[in-house]
Chain A
């Protein structure tokens, strides 16, 4: 009885079997390559031209990365400007929006650009919807008025030469009532319905 190493015998047996049977692999590459080439879509001259401009996967990822980085830079710039440049901030606490006048109330500046208008006024629930006129002293078409208001929520609209103008760009929001838009402004804490 002979003593053998099973690992080696197993290895030899499997290798010998493959060596014996591997003749069937002759030309396998060619067969597969032909089959793959037949499966691939045929490319015409127009496709080749399109391929020059169509981004590859890597380029697409690169494009998204550049887009993302640009967006991030703009966001950072926005945050920086909001913090450091006066007048850039669009929050209701910006200087042009409210002027603090002590504990009793805030003086709110209403601004309406209306070049060539003759009569501009503001109406709202702070004046029982009675017109408070705006003035354009220097004739630059920017009509303004400051109204002292205690903290709270106010609905208002401008009336320009008799026409209702309910969507003030500086408003905190808009509501629609009786088929017309009214602007909403919060005085005091932002968004506080006090």
Chain B
């Protein structure tokens, strides 16, 4: 939760770090994980580069708060590194890191129940065609606002399904739920979202 105060690394260290990381850039995931296990922290840096956006997206989708999502993305990678020896190489790394992030999010939501924060309104995305971007963003904002109000139990599987693009089986593994429950929650979550959006009368959604 609270990050350590660290002094910024010297430029020569940063240059060296970039050089080392370029070596790891082309390596496959298993080699990177093995190197990380052997204590090569820059290999872990490359793993972070590959997964940070996915983990951040998961945290943001779950928590609906950028500051918390940023904080937990950081914590998830630290926790994963500390527990790397427990990771089995025959399993998908993405599922493992998502499980860690998901557990952290669940704990943070419990904490937030008693220590609520006010989220900032979502920023608008820039683009080339202002009319199209605004129309798309308008819908995006509506969906995100409805997602905010959706209970966590329905929101979490929806995020894993539509942002992280996991299979039902993987979602069940990440959330420690039976696969059937995951399917039901995704269906009900979507229905709730659809009803809420259609109530606004702007957009009608296909029945799928």
Contacts and interface: CB of A to CB of B under 8 A. Distances in A.
Nearest to A18: B57
B139 interface: yes
A40 B205 contact: no
12 contacts: A3-B203, A3-B204, A5-B205, A5-B208, A6-B194, A9-B139, A10-B193, A11-B163, A19-B125, A32-B81, A33-B42, A35-B6
Interface string A146-169: 000000000000000000000000
Interface in A1-58: 1-7, 9-22, 24-25, 28-38, 40
Contact of B122 (A1, A20, A22): A20
Contacts of B205: 3-6, 9
A123 to B, nearest CB: 65
Interface residues of A, number: 35
State the main secondary structure of chain A at its contact with B.
helix
A5 B206 contact: yes
A10 B52 CA distance: 21
Contact of B53 (A25, A31, A32, A33): A25
A22 B125 contact: no
A10 B155 CA distance: 11
Contacts of B52: 25, 28-29
Given A20-B122, A32-B78, 7 more contacts: A16-B140, A19-B125, A20-B125, A22-B56, A32-B48, A33-B41, A35-B3
Nearest to B139: A9
Shortest beta-carbon contacts, A-B, top 3: A13-B143, A13-B140, A14-B163
A5 B60 CA distance: 23
